[in-house]
Amino acid sequence: MSFAKLGLTDELLKAVADQGYVTPTPVQQKAIPLILEGKDVLAGAQTGTGKTASFTLPLLQRLAENHDPHQKPRRVRALILVPTRELAAQVYESVKTYGAHLPLRAEAVVGGASIGIQTRQLHRGCDIVVATPGRLIDHVQQRNINLANVEMLVLDEADRMLDMGFLPDIKQIMALIPKKRQSLLFSATVPNAIKLLATQLLNNPVEVEVAKQNATADTVSERIYGIGREYKRELLSYLIGSNNWKQVLVFVRTKHGADRLEKQLIEDGIRTVALHGDKTQGARNKALEYFKTGKVSALVATDIAARGLDIDDLPHVVNFDLPQVPEDYVHRIGRTGRAGSSGEALSLVCPEEAWMLAEIEKLLKRQIPRVADTGYEPVSLKVIDAPKKNAPNKTTGKKDYRHTKKPAARGAKSTVRGAKQSDSKRIESRSKGRPGSRGKA
Ligand code: AMP
């Protein structure tokens, strides 16, 4: 299968070849011909599957087919809505890259960037807008943008948009764009809330499903380290230092946890930067840049901050905290083992998180292998009393645990406490390889 067989024009084939892509990925093979035909599409595809090109290439082609060079100023004919600024930046880059040989103009409209500059650029006119919902609505209210000529709508990472509470914004935006349009909805997972949204936004959609591909990518090796919570940081520093990892993405649950771990890893001599929602856009861009260029080896991120980050060939992902929403585990490990490269996803799981691990394995329908000897006293990861699920969240349709008390696993406390003595011995025997013990910055 080649890109030419999908019906793409020479300008787009050239752009694809410029990127060095030879074979379309499964989601590209399925979605591109359907979108070129003008069909509405509901696609279950995660980051890493090549989903961005699967909607961007045909979108560009369809716009280019009916492009009127005399139309001044340009009208917004395509709207791509995404949940985060980082994803907006990546999609915008993709639109520019793939559209390099076409006469179309795109703008990114995201929060955190200067509204004045965006306003001027919008007034100049553009064909494609890549936007996060909140900032787009700001511009609509200030009459900087007119959505009455939108012919194509894309919702990317729609499940995440619902998780982030963007449904009311999405509905507000939908009311402003013409009913007669082509709509594409991309989502890593397709829970009922997404199906419901699809019935409201899409017209007779064709469903494309490739989500499984990345969910349990064979190229990713996953392992669980059962360990007391208080030893996680030490183990992480040890793993990074002794294996000399140059690029590891570490997931934590909270912004505060991200800042704390950043500080601790730096104290252990590991070049680290934290990425979370409280950082300014400038700080976020810098963090990402440092990580990509190897100035730092560890990026500590929350799920929302990490969502959609396009970091190629990421070799190591560590779940420092397990995610409370099992689907996020799949998103997280989707950061590694992309496009055929091999990757490693390690999870440091303490007894208090045993129930989350059980939920994740239930979703995956398989057991994640445990590391037999972690170097620490073994802990029990047996769930004794799983928390009751809340009623499904009205917006997302997901059942979450946010308001429930998390139970400890059987014998959790005594096992962890009992571990202390022999732990320090084991750690001592390892201390040669630990970056902390080297005392280097
Ligand atoms: P995405 O799922 O859109 O985040 O894409 C994941 C990565 O795959 C990006 O770095 C793309 O540049 C890359 N990619 C997309 N399509 C292809 C392809 N057909 N062949 C090789 N790499 C690709």
The pLDDT of 359-363, averaged and rounded, is 89
364, 211 in Cβ contact below 8 A? Answer: no
- Minimal CA–CA distance to 226: which of 334, 414, 382? 382
pLDDT of residue 367: 83
From the CA of 218, how far away is ligand 1's center (Å)? 17
**For a pLDDT cut of 90, what percent of the chain falls above it?**
56
Give the separation between CA 122 and CA 117, rounded to whole angstroms.
Answer: 9
Spell out the residues 6+ positions from residue 150 whose beta carbon is closer than 8 angstroms to its own.
Answer: 76, 77, 78, 79, 177, 178, 181
**Closest residue (by CA) to atom 6 of ligand 1?**
48
pLDDT at 234: 95
Percent of the chain with pLDDT over 70: 82
Range list of β-strands (E), 101-143: 106-109, 128-131
Identify the CATH assignment for 220-432 out of 3.40.50.300, 3.40.1080.10, 3.40.47.10, 3.90.1660.10.
3.40.50.300
Question: Counting Cβ atoms within 10 Å, is residue 440 exposed (0-12), middle (13-18) or buried (19+)?
Answer: exposed
Instruction: Please report the atom of ligand 1 found closest to the CA of residue 45.
Output: 2
CB atoms within 10 A of CB 163: 24
**Residue closest by Cα to atom 16 of ligand 1:** 50
Q: What is the pLDDT of residue 344?
A: 86
* Backbone φ, ψ for residue 30 (5° rounding): -80, -45
**Any bridge partners for residue 347, and if so which?**
224, 319
Lowest mean pLDDT among 103-112, 308-317, 388-397: 388-397
Q: Which atom of ligand 1 is nearest to the CA of 47?
A: 2
How close is the Cα of 27 to the center of ligand 1, in Å? 10
**CA of 25 relative to ligand 1 center, distance in Å:** 8
Quote the ligand 1 centre to 235 CA distance (angstroms): 33
Distance 97 CA to ligand 1 centre (A): 12
User: Would you place residue 315 in the very low, low, confident or very high pLDDT band (cuts 50, 70, 90)?
Assistant: confident
Q: Is the pLDDT of residue 302 over 70?
A: yes
Ligand 1, pocket-test mutation among 19, 27, 98, most atoms within 8 A of CB:
19
Look at ligand 1, atom 19, and give the residue with the nearest C-alpha.
24
Q: How confident is the model at residue 440 (pLDDT cuts 50, 70, 90)?
A: very low
pLDDT at 412 over 80: no
Q: Which two tokens stand for residue 55?
A: 């909607």
48 CA distance to ligand 1 centroid (A)?
6
> Which of 116-125, 196-205, 325-334 is least confident?
325-334
Give the pLDDT of residue 260. 96
Mean pLDDT of the chain: 84
- Confidence class for position 164, pLDDT limits 50, 70, 90: confident
pLDDT above 80 for 414: no
**Does 3-209 match 220-432 in CATH topology?**
yes
Q: What pLDDT does residue 375 have?
A: 86
Return the top range by mean pLDDT from 235-239, 289-293, 425-429.
Answer: 235-239
pLDDT, one tens digit per residue, over 175-219 is: 999 999 999 999 988 888 899 999 999 999 999 987 544 334 455
Q: Which of 107, 101, 146 lies closest to 128, judged by CA?
A: 107
Question: What is the pLDDT, as a whole number, of residue 416?
Answer: 35
User: In the chain, what is the straight-line distance between the N-terminal and C-terminal CA atoms, in Å?
Assistant: 49
- Best of 97, 310, 331, 335 to mutate for ligand 1, by most ligand atoms within 8 A of CB? 310
Residue from 55, 96, 157, 338 whose mutation best tests the ligand 1 pocket (most atoms within 8 A of CB): 338
Going by alpha carbons, the residue nearest to atom 14 of ligand 1 is 50
Question: In the predicted model, is pLDDT for residue 228 greater than 80?
Answer: yes
Q: Whose CA is nearest to atom 11 of ligand 1?
A: 50
Kindly give the distance from the C-alpha atom of residue 88 to the centroid of ligand 1, in angstroms, as a whole number. 16
- Which atom of ligand 1 lies at the shortest distance from residue 25's CA? 19
How much distance in Å is there from the Cα of 49 to the middle of ligand 1?
6
pLDDT for residue 372: 81
Q: What is the pLDDT at residue 427?
A: 40
Mean pLDDT is highest, among 130-139, 301-310, 378-387, 390-399, for 130-139
412 CA to middle of ligand 1, Å? 43
Nearest CA to ligand 1 atom 23: 50
Pick from 23, 27, 52 the residue to mutate for probing ligand 1's pocket: most ligand atoms within 8 Å of its CB.
52
Ligand 1 atom closest to Cα of residue 19? 12
Q: What is the CATH number of domain 3-209?
A: 3.40.50.300
Which residue has the least CA distance to atom 20 on ligand 1?
21
Mean predicted confidence (pLDDT) in 295-324: 83
Q: Which pLDDT score is estimated for 74? A: 95
Residue 394: pLDDT band with limits 50, 70, 90: low
Tell me, in angstroms, the distance from the centre of ligand 1 to residue 413's CA: 45
* pLDDT band with cut points at 50, 70 and 90 for residue 418: very low
Task: Supply the residue whose CA is at minimum distance from atom 10 of ligand 1.
Answer: 312
Tell me the pLDDT band of 390, cut-offs 50, 70 and 90: low
Gyration radius (Cα) of the chain, Å? 23
> Which two tokens mark 257?
């946890």
**Ligand 1 centre distance from Cα of residue 75 (Å):** 29
Query: What is the SS3 assignment for 312-337?
Result: CCECEEEECCCCCCHHHHHHHHCCEC
The closest residue, in CA terms, to atom 22 on ligand 1 is: 21
Pocket of ligand 1 (CB under 6 A): 21, 23-25, 28, 47-53, 310, 312, 338-339
Is residue 420 very low, low, confident or very high in pLDDT (cuts 50, 70, 90)?
very low
Q: Which protein residue has the closest C-alpha to ligand 1 atom 21?
A: 21
Quick check: 262 pLDDT over 90?
yes
Task: Tell how far the Cα of 131 is from the centroid of ligand 1, in angstroms.
Answer: 21
**Domain residue ranges in the chain:** 3-209, 220-432
CA separation (Å) from 302 to 14, 219, 364? 37, 24, 22
Paired tokens of 360: 């994740």
